[in-house]
Amino acid sequence: MLAAVDVPVVAAGGLVSAGDVAGVLAAGAVAVQLGTAFLLADEAGSSPVHRAALQSPEFTETVVTRAFSGRYARGLRNRFIVEHDAQAPLGYPEIHYLTSPVRKASAAAGDPQATNVWAGTGWRQARTGTVAEIMTGLAPV
């Protein structure tokens, strides 16, 4: 069981396959919440540079960083994170506004190394297609 107390549990975080979904439902979750699994969906608002980065072998891990916005979020570890994460302050939204022009210019240039590429730990298994197709692939068999 996921919870010792008798409350409904919504499982979230790192779920990207039918096996993942089936596993948490079998463990007692009443529902699942998935984000990263839909980043490559036709209907998703992900930018072209975001989509390309998610499918690029140049990225090998995600990290939790406050470097882009001043509060913690998980993304693909790129040059901006490597160069700024250690000294980045907790300062949302000031850091968000400070880094915004750099992030926009990087994205406009098609460069994923100086913009935020948000992604959960399961990004490698994110699938393309319509949301309906992705949902069908995630349904427990």
Ligand X SMILES: Cc1cc2nc3c(=O)[nH]c(=O)nc-3n(C[C@H](O)[C@H](O)[C@H](O)COP(=O)(O)O)c2cc1C
Task: Check binding of 35 to ligand X (CB under 6 A).
Answer: yes
- Long-range CB pairs of 135-138 (<8 Å, 24+ gap) are 137/18, 138/17, 138/18, 138/21, 138/34, 138/37
Restricting to residues 114-133, name those near ligand X by CB under 6 A: 118, 120, 122
Helix (H, G, I), strand (E, B) or coil at 108: helix
Q: Which residue is nearest to ligand X (CB)?
A: 35
The only residue of 11, 21, 39, 41 in contact with ligand X, by rule CB under 6 A:
39
The residue among 112 and 122 lying less far from ligand X, judged by its C-beta, is 122
Q: Is the peptide bond before 93 cis (omega within 30 degrees of 0)?
A: yes
When asked if residue 13 is in the footprint of ligand X (CB under 6 A), the reply is yes
Residues making contact with ligand X (CB under 6 A) = 12-15, 33-37, 39, 118, 120, 122
